[in-house]
Structure 1
């Protein structure tokens, strides 16, 4: 295990969770790192939409790898959303994660949602996790189950079953987007892995989720969608002759500086 892996793992503290903002390109990741976040994630929706491709369809393997390459000088630990690993073959998934690790990536999100809207067989996901763990031991594997998002029957029981298999396969954490707030404490106590939950506007803040036992709180695609929404709000306001009423935007020189500081 590498020092970077140990440092990233140490940030996952139940009760005092890692607040992980998710970026979609170099500028957003560099801006978040410049704000002092010790770790930054990527959002597969943001990466896919920025490239004009669908999310969750295995269509952004090249874009994901290229973004990791461009973020390799970021002064923050980087974890990358790799959807389902961009394939069903565990060896191929492990090879892709090894390529990411060569650019300094210290973590990946690996999900069990399938492109047909169902859940992949848990043994298949576990095989991918095992292959990644063997090929890239310095990468934190955050195994994601979409049991709630995809509306499967008895999602809590399904998440428990999958968590046990993923843990045995070598997963470092469990991500449960969509899990109800009142089940966070139950999951944190039972799954035997650092629990990652998704922040949602109007829900508990990261500190409150930490008190329930969460070890990591991610923004997911929220920042990307908010940025898009803000742009639409502002252009509509300007077009209608109104003041947008938004916080000040970063200046031209500030944005230019991000590229000079954190890229080659």
Structure 2
């Protein structure tokens, strides 16, 4: 965990791009990102399943199997652990760590904070080397009420860092950073929110891209198909060659 934890305390915040398969993760790592996360929305969408419904445990473990030995640090978006049973969430964490994951992101989905704290404590006991990023959805699904109370509970349970997606107001972010007193705060980047440099000035230590890259990729694919159908030039953008994508394939042919 040390190398991944250290990225949260470096001179600049950890900018964590989120991949959805082997090729996207390797392409991001090739551009110098030392760590790559996964995105639960993309994992679910690719399998034709809903996000946030505890439906993609198998697919998440398979992606960790594919990426866990790659030459970058891997953080896995595991929704709420795919179970309300702390022991089952702990077993998931144990499997992810064995596959090579360096971190896990666990969201509370605005469920009871004591239940989420119990999951975090169980994960810490089962996989001590795994960096636990505890997410609260007070701003994502609510009005922000109770954010610090929930984060305090998760930190007491052993979380290494905390994640508050949906929070974009600079003053509120700065106040939360002060209240956390050195605990790494993770903020979800959005095109309409503060840019990376501003988030860094506010004291944010980790900036995730979430499903943004996946959604942009789907949009670009549809735009390209429409351009070809209409006889227009392809939209501006970088298109990797067949050979470049082929080189991201696993050399042993395994899955």
State TM-score, norm by structure 2: 0.95
2:181 paired with 1:185: no
Residues 188 and 207 of structure 2 are in contact (CA less than 8 Å); yes or no, is this contact kept in structure 1?
Answer: yes
- List runs of 5+ in structure 1 lacking aligned partners: 114-118
Partner of 1:97: 93
Count of aligned pairs: 252
For residues 46 and 62 of structure 1, what CA distance do their matches in structure 2 show? 14
- CA gap of 1:108–1:262, structure 2 versus 1, over 3 A, is farther
| Aligned counterpart for 1:175 among listed residues 131, 138, 163 | 163
Contact 2:81–2:92 under 8 Å retained in 1: yes
1:163 aligns with 2:151: yes
Of residues 198, 223, 228, the one that matches 1:233 is 223
Cα pair 1:70 1:263 within 8 Å, conserved: no
2:191 corresponds in structure 1 to 201
Residues 217-248 of structure 1, C-alpha deviations (whole Å, 9 max, x = no match): 00000000000011111111111111122223
Greater displacement, 202-211 / 30-39: 202-211
Tell me what 1:116 maps to.
none
> Distance between the aligned counterparts of 2:221 and 2:152, measured in 1?
43
Say whether the 8 Å CA contact 2:76–2:105 is kept in structure 1. Answer: yes
Deviation of 1:180 after TM superposition, in Å, equals 2.5
Q: Is the 8 A contact 1:81 1:109 kept in 2?
A: yes
1:10-159 equivalences under 5 Å are 10-13=6-9, 16-113=12-109, 119-152=110-143, 155=144, 157-159=145-147
CA distance in 2, matches of 1:47, 1:198: 18
* Structure 1 runs, 4 residues or longer, greater than 3 Å off: 260-264
Q: Secondary structure at the match of 1:11?
A: helix
Query: Aligned-pair distance for 1:181?
Result: 2.5
Contact kept, 8 Å, 1:39 with 1:79, in 2: the verdict is yes
Q: CA RMSD in A?
A: 1.5
* Native 8 Å contact 2:16 2:207 kept in 1: yes
CA contact (8 A) 2:132 2:159 kept: yes
* Stretch deviating more after TM superposition (236-245 or 17-26): 236-245
Q: Distance in 2 between matches of 1:11 and 1:121?
A: 30
Task: Measure, in 2, the Cα distance between the counterparts of 1:110 and 1:233.
Answer: 34
1:116-167 deviation digits (Å, cap 9, x = unpaired)? xxx1110000000000001100000000001011124xx1x41100111011
**Unmatched 5+ residue regions in structure 2?**
none
Shifted more, 135-144 versus 233-242: the winner is 233-242
Quick one: distance in 1 between partners of 2:201 and 2:51?
32
Would the aligned equivalents of 2:223 and 2:235 in 1 still touch at CA under 8 Å? no
